[in-house]
Amino acid sequence: MSGKKFSAVIIPVMLSFFAMGFVDLVGTATNYIKADFGLSDAFANLCTTMVFFWFLIVSIPTGALMNRIGRRKTTLLSLGVTALALLVPVFNYSAVSMILSFCLLGIGNAIMQVSLNPLVANIVSGDRLASTMTFGQFVKAIASFIAPLIASWGAAQFENWRVMFPIFAGVAVLAVACLGFTRIREEEYDSSGAGFKASFSLLRDKFILLSFFGIMCHVGIDVGTNVTAPKLLMESVGMSLNDAAFATSIYFLFRTIGCFSGSFILARWNSGKFFLLSVLCMVAAMVGLFTFSSMIPVYVCVGLIGFGNSNVFSIIFAKSLLKVPERQNAVSGLMIAGLIGGAVFPPVMGLFSDMLGTQLGAVAVMSAGVAYLLCMYFSLRKTYNE
């Protein structure tokens, strides 16, 4: 494929990766929705549950859908659903409409997570495949990073934090148009053994079972930090919501740095050792959040979580595929279903915060997730360091 032809194909795909990052705006949006409608932590965090619940329901059937209509059309469907989700708050802003918006956002993102990476495999192969997919995660992280910045800018300039919804909806529509006019030659997709029963039967394997819960913890920590970091600053430092939202950008900045640097580190260093280092960064961050309550130390801890959590998913995912190479379709669907952790953690965190009357309750729940990842590594250390 010539350079110009490759660019013409890869740019719409990378724009789709950017749209994949829109799901992370839910953390910033939840904090504003809580303030606008006077919601409790437990109820407000249910908004996040509405997004990530759909990964359990939608991810595995998406494999069968790709087999029928192809990967590009499945990705186009996901982008269309995402655009619709982002337009809902533009026309109606209420607690009910936001729940509807988050449900559609979750459905669209679940479909996209399953379909977009296989689509990349139709464009590049070999060593270029890994580097291209890593770059896609880097592009996705940029969208996650700028979402709270746009919300804060909108709140400061127009007293309307929701300006990010029409802006991102426009990008999603642009991605639909670009990918819709892009021709990508697709190979046959073998979805055999990728149904619900076949996928969940893999949980009988200890490695796959622990990895599935590892993915749940990774996403729970990711979404939990996104939601909780601004609340910690508001509680301990007395910052306004607009100023505290910068903590979310700190998290995504360091997650972006982690995604970009991880591709180089993993090419030269043992993935098991890097996984351990990543988890230890998060351990240090959790200890710091319990110890410090001033602005700079909290920012440092949030940055450590962002960097430490940035490559956990890719390492677990890759190790799981290698563990059962003959059933990679089923493994892939199951690992994406593990993103349900983003729906499980926030309500529990909100419940603990309400019970204890402090955001340290939410930090305690995230710390349990970090502790699980550490125990998982030592339980599977032999395989991780092969």
> Is pLDDT of 127 > 50?
no
Mean pLDDT of 219-242: 86
User: Quick one: pLDDT band at residue 122, thresholds 50, 70, 90?
Assistant: confident
**pLDDT for position 130:** 54
Tell me the average pLDDT across 96-120: 88
Q: What is the pTM assigned to this prediction?
A: 0.77
- Looking at residue 163, the DSSP 8-state letter turns out to be G
Asked if residue 330 has pLDDT above 80, the reply is no
Secondary structure (3-state) at 217: helix
The number of residues in the chain equals: 386
Percent of the chain having pLDDT more than 90?
Answer: 33
What average pLDDT does range 293-322 have in this prediction?
87
Question: What would the mean pLDDT of 136-157 be, rounded to a whole number?
Answer: 85
Least-confidence region, from 162-176, 187-201, 225-239: 187-201
Q: Rounded mean pLDDT of 271-288? A: 93
**73-84 confidence digits (pLDDT tens):** 999 999 999 999
Average pLDDT over the chain, rounded to an integer: 84
* 8 Å CB contact between 279 and 374: yes
Max avg pLDDT among 124-133, 162-171, 256-265, 343-352? 162-171
Average pLDDT over residues 355-377: 94
pLDDT tens-place string over residues 131-140: 577 778 788 8
Per-residue burial over 332-344, b if 16 or more Cβ lie within 10 Å, else e, is bbbbbbbbbbbbb
Supply the pLDDT for residue 18: 93
Under a CB-based contact definition with an 8 Å cutoff, are residues 78 and 111 in contact?
A: yes
- According to the model, what pLDDT value does residue 80 have? 96
Q: Phi, psi at residue 271, to the nearest 5°?
A: -65, -30
In sequence order, the 6+-apart residues with CB closer than 8 A to the CB of 39 are 33, 95
pLDDT at site 59: 85
Distance, in Å, from the CA atom of 363 to the CA atom of 352, rounded to the nearest integer, reads 9
Which residues are CB-contacts of 232 (< 8 A; sequence separation ≥ 6)? 247, 289, 298, 359, 363
Q: What band does 128 get if pLDDT is binned at 50, 70 and 90?
A: low
Residue 151 contacts residue 167 (beta carbons within 8 Å)? no
